[in-house]
Amino acid sequence: MEATRLSEPQRRGALVAGAMYLYTIVGSLLYMSWLRPMLVVPGDLEATARNITVHPLLFRAGTTHEILMALAIIPLAWGLYVLLRSTHARLALLALCWRTAESILWALTGLVTLAAAQVVGADRASAFGVDQQVALLGVLLGANESALNVVILLTGLGSIIFFSLFLRSRLIARPLAIWGLVTYAVIIPFSCVKLVVPTLAALDMLIYTPGALFEIVIGGWLLYVASTSSPSSANARAGRRAW
């Protein structure tokens, strides 16, 4: 991408979007591959309840981190909107709406996870029996997993619009835009099918790893573009008014 093609608002949009891409994807990878497996044991609700009871602070810290990542989606989407609104304002706005909905729902799933911590807390032992605690924990974690599938669906819907606009505008390399389109075109139907067939979670690594790699690449690319762009003085003045 030629630096001269970026106005000052676009440069700032690329900077914000790139930084938020890297924060959300790296944070998600650390949370899902390191922290969550320490606490949530797939298929063993009793072990999960014990882990949460023994490490309540760690569980709450991880969930708070997840909520912060969810909120970071809004500046990410805004940055992409600013970068692409000159290509097609209405489609860029639609993509912004999809990704804003994603952010809100993802944050709400974090609140559901915090509710799970409340259910198995020591102070709830007198209110619920052990069996009741485990059953309620299963319901809340199941609701969390289902909601995350919808979150990923919203990610795909917004992102496929954004990257179709990238392909049209040629603001990023064409192969990179196509990679994004293919990635999210796979994620959208998979997340829908998982709502019906939750056991397909075994394929998560296969389906989502290319998407995680892509978001690291596009985040770094946007930061590079923002740092090497040199808008004209006229664009800079327009940027101060438009951003």
How many domains, the chain? 1
Contact at 8 Å (CB) between 2 and 25?
no
Residue 182 confidence (pLDDT) above 90: yes
Instruction: Give 18-57 pLDDT, tens digit per residue.
Output: 999 999 999 999 988 888 888 888 888 889 988 888 888 9
Query: What is the model's pLDDT at position 32?
Result: 86
112 found inside a domain: yes
233 — pLDDT class (breaks 50, 70, 90): very low
Q: What is the DSSP letter of 147?
A: H
What number of other Cβ atoms are within 10 A of residue 218's Cβ? 26
Instruction: Give a yes or no: residue 240 inside a domain.
Output: no
Do residues 183 and 211 lie in contact, with contact meaning Cβ atoms separated by under 8 Å?
Answer: yes
Calculate the dihedral angle through the C-alpha atoms of 139, 145, 151, 155, rounding to the nearest 10 degrees: -170
Instruction: Give a yes or no: residue 99 inside a domain.
Output: yes
Burial readout 166-203 (b: 16 or more C-beta within 10 A, e: otherwise): bbebebbeeebbebbbebbeebbebbeebeeeeeeeee
Q: Which residue has the higher pLDDT, 210 or 123?
A: 210
| Residue 238 placed within a domain | no
Residue 243 domain-assigned (yes or no):
no
Most confident of the ranges 48-57, 60-69, 159-168, 227-236: 159-168
Assign 185 to helix, strand or coil: helix
Among candidates 212, 233, 222, 243, which has minimal Cα distance to 24?
Answer: 212
Q: Report pLDDT digits (tens) over 89-129.
A: 999 999 999 999 999 999 999 998 888 888 876 555 555 66
Q: At what angle do helices 89-119 and 130-169 cross, to 10 degrees?
A: 160
Residue 80 structural domain = 3-229
Examine residue 237 and state whether it is found in any structural domain, yes or no: no
Does any domain span residue 164? yes
